[in-house]
Chains A and B, each alone.
Chain A
Amino acid sequence: MILLLSPLASACPLCHTEIGEQVRGKIFNSSFPLILLETAAPFIIFMIIAFVLHFGWPTKRSMSRGAVSRQNDV
């Protein structure tokens, strides 16, 4: 009964409600770029690691250590 009588609390970032406004205000403010960068930080490092795994360290590219080679054709 209490649940039925309580006001609905629409709070999505796109909702045009009081709570929705609060959510938007606390997400899209001056700290947004910094938090976005902080959230992206591990992923930037992941991509650098993937680059190194694929190409090797930039200075050692030519060495291509990952190649398993044989002089004669199989």
Chain B
Amino acid sequence: MTYNDRPLISASTILGMGMGGFVDGILFHQIFQLHNMLSNRVPKVNLVNMEINMFWDGIFHAFTWIMTAIGLWLFWRAMNRDKVPKQIKTFVGSLFLGWGLFNLIEGIIDHYVIQLHHVVENLGLSIFDLLFLASGVIMIIVGQRLIQAGRKGIQKSII
């Protein structure tokens, strides 16, 4: 019998990206208000600029929601396939992988390349942006390890 963990990994990774996106948006953009989507270009110095940032934060959340919805749909499909192993380590590992990829890619693109915003806007490009990327790398490594452990678990179960 052939097992295929790819559908579970891809679905859970997208879910992890979505969850990471919501943590970024809710925690940093809204609760801490350390940065907002365009805060490097449109500084939050008056009500109009704050409204503009709030609008683009909403667009960011809309994209995050769409991605999470796609992840849920793929996860549902994966769970209904006989050949996809229901392995918790693969699932949790992929969530970590997705969250890590979110921090790494969003950090590189939005903080460093396009520079739409930074983690702490008052400081500009700072150590906190680097820590944001580092957190992404750590979560990717943890995720990969868990996925590998999940694959070993699958192999043991079929031998």
Contacts and interface: CB of A to CB of B under 8 A. Distances in A.
Interface of A: 9, 11-13, 19, 22-23, 26-27, 35-36, 38-43, 45-47, 49-51, 53-56, 64, 66-70, 73-74
Contacts of B51: 11-13, 19, 23
SS class, residues of chain B in contact with chain A: helix
Contacts of B116: 38-39
Nearest to B5: A66
B56 A46 contact: no
B37 interface: yes
Contact of B13 (A26, A53, A64, A74): A53
A39 B29 CA distance: 14
Nearest to A51: B10
Q: Which of A13, A39, A42, A49 has the most CB of B within 10 A?
A: A42
A51 to B, nearest CB: 8
A46 B17 contact: yes
